[in-house]
Amino acid sequence: MIEVLSGPYTLKQILNDHWDAFVEDCERSGKPLRSAILENVQKVRNCRDPLKRGYHLYQCPNGCGDERMIPHSCKSRFCSSCGKVATDNWMERMSVDLLNVPYHHIVFTIPQELRNLFGWKRALLGVLFTAAKTTVLSICAEKYGYIPGIVMVQHTFGSDLKFNPHIHLLITEGGLSLDRKRWVHNVFIPWDMLKARWKYQVVSRLKPRLQTAIAEGTVGRSYTMLGTHSSFFRILEYIVWKDMVCVDGKEARQRAIYHAVYWSVCKTSCGG
């Protein structure tokens, strides 16, 4: 018989009740979970458990005999309790670091045909960070002569929590001149230029890493031809990159802080 609690389930309760069986199912199906997932879930399950995480014991200095035990927390951002602390700390840093100027929100993503590649070889996710940063900095420097302020956050999931690696950027409306002596105001970066530069940056950085992954045997067979074919760039032309860049309208500083905080929160699906 299944016991149904009268109150709301916590994430920790759900994990303690069902996680071990879920891990076994994944292993039986030949899809074992990554060590980072196992590590963080175990941290949540042990959070504030004095027998597993330890504790500090405080005693009254006046000799009254009063003692208080404070169990150690897990410090994992996946934890519904510790993650809240991490989010608050992130918001505090952003409120100090963000300039009091308008911002634009830009999202860089990749075609669906390439997503599994980053799932198989997660070390490639760093390519997206570097490509996004280089795309924006190079266009602002070459076309407008300034260095923008940028906040970048990478998500590996979409709104439906399916694997969809993409990069969120907050970029200042303008920036410091290349000699860092004045502020250059600019409200517009051409979308077509962003799209073309983003594609070039991803593809050019992906090719040598893909060739290495193929040599190591850590990439799917369907991508082998991309890394070995001499017409690598032409092959990728057949993969549609049409809507891989999204530029939102101007945002005030406070809205930009909200976005930065929202991006930093670990998402959990309650709908399956």
Extents of the domains making up the chain:
1-80, 100-264
Q: What is the structure's pLDDT at 207?
A: 81
Q: Which has the closest alpha carbon to 237: 130, 111, 109? A: 111
pTM of structure? 0.75
Rounded to the nearest 10 degrees, what angle do helices 125-139 and 191-216 cross at? 150
pLDDT given at position 62: 87
Kindly give the parts of the chain with pLDDT less than 70: 1-8, 218-244, 247-272
Confirm if 133 and 159 have CB atoms less than 8 A apart. Answer: no
**pLDDT for position 2:** 46
| CATH number for region 100-264 | 3.30.70
pLDDT at position 111, please? 86
For residue 246 the two structure tokens come to 């999204």
Tell me which residue of 15, 102, 187, 160 sits closest to 23, measured CA to CA: 15
- The tokens describing 268, both together, are 């959990």
Residue 245, pLDDT score = 72
Residue 263 is predicted with a pLDDT of 60
- What pLDDT is attached to residue 232? 53
Query: What whole-number distance in Å separates Cα of residue 19 and Cα of residue 41?
Result: 9
